[in-house]
Structure 1
Amino acid sequence: MAASSLISTSFHISCSSGSPNRKLTINCFLPKSFSLHKIPTPTCSPIQSHKRPLIPYRSSCPPCLYKLLLTAKNPFSPAFDSLLILCTSLALALSLFVADVDSASAFVVTPQRKLQTDELATVQLFQENTPSVVYITNLAARQDAFTLDVFEVPQGSGSGFVWDKNGHIVTNYHVIRGASDLRVTLADQSTFDAKVVGFDQDKDVAVLHVDAPKDKLRPIPIGISADLLVGQKVFAIGNPFGLDHTLTTGVISGLRREISSAATGRPIQDVIQTDAAINPGNSGGPLLDSSGSLIGINTAIYSPSGASSGVGFSIPVDTVNGIVDQLVRFGKVTRPILGIKFAPDQSVEQLGVSGVLVLDAPPNGPAGKAGLLPTKRDTYGRLILGDIITSVNGKKVTNGSDLYRILDQCNVGDKVIVEVLRGDQKEKIPVILEPKADES
């Protein structure tokens, strides 16, 4: 800069006192950079002994200065030093005046925020998918004990996401369970009343509908979950604790896990396990892969305290896709059942056998019509065990989860061969699967 760096200046002073043969030449050099608070002592030498090329500035000294230089023991007297300081100050002022120097703010450099490539990708993913995530408020009707007035109070909240431009919102069933009214808040903070299109208690999935303008609805990209890998990076977006949209990241820490539905206890297979934080309020929110595509619905955590402990579960999108399609088209999910009630797995283990013990088989159900025997008591109060299902269509059944897993692969109207242990004998009984009574 012009203020901190000056060119080397040479002062060549010629002094004569009228005698043409007597002349003294002195050259002074200033360093290229110096401090404004401390002027370095100039280096002076006769021109005859200095070997560097000079560009002298010649001027004639008055007789008084000439005599002073001749009589002074040290040529750099205080008067001469003052002259040098004056010349240097003038040169510095001239350089600052002539140089193109901006305002003082030009010397303040604001460093640009630099993000890594993976950080930029995460920021872009959050910005692109946040408009698809909604906030759901569960309202319950309450009656005042004194005035008997009925009013609505929030009893829970959760997350959801826009499925299509028709206003369908997908979330967990336990988010809307027991609600008298539901409200959906979009990313732009606009709120709409929501109606329940349908739900699947067994898989903990529900579909809502809002009458919102299509320009406010941004469907989330739908991916696939069949080719997921452990260690793959995932992102969870939701509204934990009623806050605005938040993002948590992690990896897939396990695949093909099994959890039980919070509503019916029926097992949900092929669940995705992740260490991305899923706190209360994240339920129903989307789990995304690194490309921003939906791969699951955040539904549960494994924690005694109810806070995220690094083990969260998401329903795979391949399961959700089929459920949502049926709910949108028919308002219900048609799932086949055997029409039985069975004993807890621990009870069967105490008997020393492997299978599913039939406790009840209503006569109007598929199993009752096929002739499966329930558990009952005789006239003396003694317990007579019913049939114990050991396999279905040749697939071994050791507990209730195995039975549900096999039925999930069947359709309503299919005929299955149920092998049972009746007393000491094994029998094979054909059963025609039917839908649940409340879904027919």
Structure 2
Amino acid sequence: MRRALPAPAVGVVTSALLAGCAYLPAPPDPVPTSVVPTTVPAPGAEADGSQLSPDGFDAAQRMAVRIRNIGCGALSTGSGFALDAHTLVTNRHVVADSAELQLSTYDGRDVAAEAASTAGLADLAVVRTVDALPAAPVLAEADPQVGDPVTVVGYPLGRRLTVTDGRVVAAVTDPLHTNLGEVLVTDAPVEPGSSGSAALDADGRVIGVVYAKNAENMSFLVPVSTLRAMLEDDTAFAPAPTCG
């Protein structure tokens, strides 16, 4: 049986317009402060609908970032998460071809972006910020195993901060970037706009980065081992392409 290839989970709010960045639509509503718990609790989930502890839940919402990519003729949305006080991680396709990146946090605060860099190998990017980000998570030391719990924290459809739970169901060769090697597959629900979301273990540590989903509603993660290796490689990232 043929499986549909995964598509990037970035949310496109509007497609091509007549001309230039002057004719952009109004941006989405401000980020609400509420968090949407998962509607599909995984086995063993806590009573509040999340596999995370209360402390982990609070930390997860504080490190998540909503991204609006304003390009020349289009507006798309994605997600990201803090790496440190002035750096966030997201997907390459979330920040590419932009004229301006608009960042906002769970409490509705706008954060000015300074520069974005994208990886050539994996669908990863880093964005440097002028303003400080609220909090940064810990990167896990190792990739999760099949069957391990996973929690995805992001802004699907560019709207409310959402937390969804699932399990790692497989490790496969990346169908979109064959040179990358192995990626993780989970059943944690994601939607357009979830691209760049952090995938967390039960202790709130980052175990991967969401970059796509397929027609069977399985989500794909760049594993934390790949993320770590690329962050340690000074040649892995280059300035992100803009829309000109």
Quick check: TM above 0.5? Answer: yes
149, 167, 174: which one pairs with 1:251? 167
Distance in 2, matches of 1:253 and 1:280, equals: 21
1:294 and 2:190 matched: no
Per the alignment, residue 118 of structure 1 pairs with 46
Task: Report the Cα offset of residue 123 of structure 1.
Answer: 5.7
Distance in 2, matches of 1:277 and 1:225, equals: 23
Task: Report the Cα offset of residue 219 of structure 1.
Answer: 0.8
Per the alignment, residue 232 of structure 2 pairs with 325
Q: List alignment gaps of at least 5 residues for structure 1.
A: 1-115, 143-153, 304-308, 335-440
1:157 and 2:157 matched: no
Kindly report structure 1 stretches of 4+ aligned residues shifted beyond 2 Å. Answer: 116-123, 125-128, 256-259
Distance in 2, matches of 1:222 and 1:122, equals: 16
Distance in 1, matches of 2:159 and 2:53, equals: 19
Q: Deviations over 1:86-135 (max 9, x none)?
A: xxxxxxxxxxxxxxxxxxxxxxxxxxxxxx98225536232221100000
Which structure has the highest helix share of the two? Answer: 1
| Mapping for residues 83-122 of structure 1, pairs under 5 Å | 118-119=46-47, 122=52
- Larger RCO (CA within 8 A; separation ≥ 6): 2
Per the alignment, residue 285 of structure 1 pairs with 197
Q: Deviations over 1:23-47 (max 9, x none)?
A: xxxxxxxxxxxxxxxxxxxxxxxxx
Distance in 1, matches of 2:236 and 2:179, equals: 16
Whether the 8 Å CA contact 1:224–1:294 is kept in 2: the answer is no
Q: Secondary structure at the match of 1:218?
A: coil
Q: Counterpart of 2:122 in structure 1: which amino acid?
A: K
Distance in 1, matches of 2:164 and 2:98, equals: 28
Q: Which moved more, 1:124-133 or 1:312-321?
A: 124-133
Whether the 8 Å CA contact 2:78–2:194 is kept in 1: the answer is yes
RMSD, aligned α-carbons: 2.2
Q: List alignment gaps of at least 5 residues for structure 2.
A: 1-43, 238-244
Q: Secondary structure at the match of 1:122?
A: coil
Structure with max Cα Rg: 1
Distance in 2, matches of 1:203 and 1:237, equals: 20
Q: Counterpart of 2:83 in structure 1: which amino acid?
A: W
Whether the 8 Å CA contact 1:161–1:219 is kept in 2: the answer is yes
Q: Counterpart of 2:129 in structure 1: which amino acid?
A: V
Whether the 8 Å CA contact 2:121–2:236 is kept in 1: the answer is no
Per the alignment, residue 122 of structure 2 pairs with 203
Whether the 8 Å CA contact 1:170–1:208 is kept in 2: the answer is yes
Q: Secondary structure at the match of 2:111?
A: strand
Distance in 1, matches of 2:115 and 2:45, equals: 42
What TM-score, normalized by structure 1, do the two folds share?
Answer: 0.41
Q: Deviations over 1:180-208 (max 9, x none)?
A: 11111122211123133421132011110
Q: In structure 2, do the counterparts of structure 1 residues 200 and 168 end up closer, same or farther at CA, with 3 Å as the change threshold? A: same
- The sequence identity of aligned pairs, in percent, is 25
Which structure has the highest strand share of the two? Answer: 2
127, 131, 134: which one pairs with 2:58? 127
Q: Deviations over 1:362-410 (max 9, x none)?
A: xxxxxxxxxxxxxxxxxxxxxxxxxxxxxxxxxxxxxxxxxxxxxxxxx
1:237 and 2:148 matched: no
Per the alignment, residue 138 of structure 2 pairs with 221
Q: Secondary structure at the match of 1:267?
A: coil
1:181 and 2:84 matched: no
Whether the 8 Å CA contact 1:207–1:324 is kept in 2: the answer is no
Task: Report the Cα offset of residue 267 of structure 1.
Answer: 3.5
170, 181, 185: which one pairs with 1:273? 185
Per the alignment, residue 192 of structure 1 pairs with 111
Distance in 1, matches of 2:57 and 2:162, equals: 9
| Mapping for residues 9-24 of structure 1, pairs under 5 Å | none
Whether the 8 Å CA contact 2:112–2:131 is kept in 1: the answer is no
122, 138, 141: which one pairs with 2:69? 138
| Mapping for residues 1-12 of structure 1, pairs under 5 Å | none
Q: Secondary structure at the match of 1:277?
A: coil
Whether the 8 Å CA contact 1:259–1:268 is kept in 2: the answer is no
What TM-score, normalized by structure 2, do the two folds share?
Answer: 0.72
- Give the paired residue count: 192
